Amino acid sequence: MEDGSVQKSLKWLVDLSKGTISHELEALTLEGLQSLQGQKGFIRCNFVVPSRASDADGNWHVGAMATLIDDVGAAAIYSVADHVKASLDFSISIYSTAKIQEEVEIEAKVTGDKGKLAHVVVEVRRKENRELIALGKQWMASSKDSAKAAQGSKL
């Protein structure tokens, strides 16, 4: 792990998953999230889909998956921009389902940082065979310029 903003990003994810900060919804949907790797613009995590995140068919609920994709993507952007941005455009393509207690890997890569705008791509893959489950893309914006962000971060 490279610097303070990467470490803060990973700590933020851990705190969300433990319910230390934020809302109960995030604690429920991120319960058990494990950070594997973090560097500027990139975060990789393991996750075992908890039973609380189930839909009626025993699959990972798409809303819970969206919350996880949003939070891991935001942490990757924070590792570059050193502040939290607001979502402008968020899309998810779902290619497969994941069952409760199935292990998945999440990779978030910042693909663009234009100061007030940042873009992240988040892949969710089945750990067993690397099959793509979902692909999230998100543009985030801020009223702060990345170069000045370190002065007043929310994380």
- Return d(Cα 85, Cα 104) in angstroms, integer: 26
pLDDT per position in the chain (155 positions), as tens?
357 888 888 887 877 887 777 667 777 788 888 989 999 999 999 999 999 898 999 999 999 999 999 999 999 998 887 777 788 899 999 999 999 999 999 999 999 988 889 999 999 999 999 999 999 999 988 766 544 444 444 44
Token representation of residue 73: 């993507």
Listed in sequence order, the residues at least 6 apart from 148 whose beta carbon sits closer than 8 Å to its beta carbon are none
- Return d(Cα 82, Cα 76) in angstroms, integer: 10
Confidence (pLDDT) at 131: 97
Domain boundaries, the chain: 4-148
Confidence (pLDDT) at 23: 67
Terminal Cα distance for the chain, rounded:
17
Q: Which amino acid is at 15?
A: D
Q: Could you give the angle at the alpha carbon of 64 between the alpha carbons of 60 and 66, nearest 5°?
A: 110
User: What is 4-148's CATH superfamily?
Assistant: Hotdog Thioesterase (3.10.129.10)
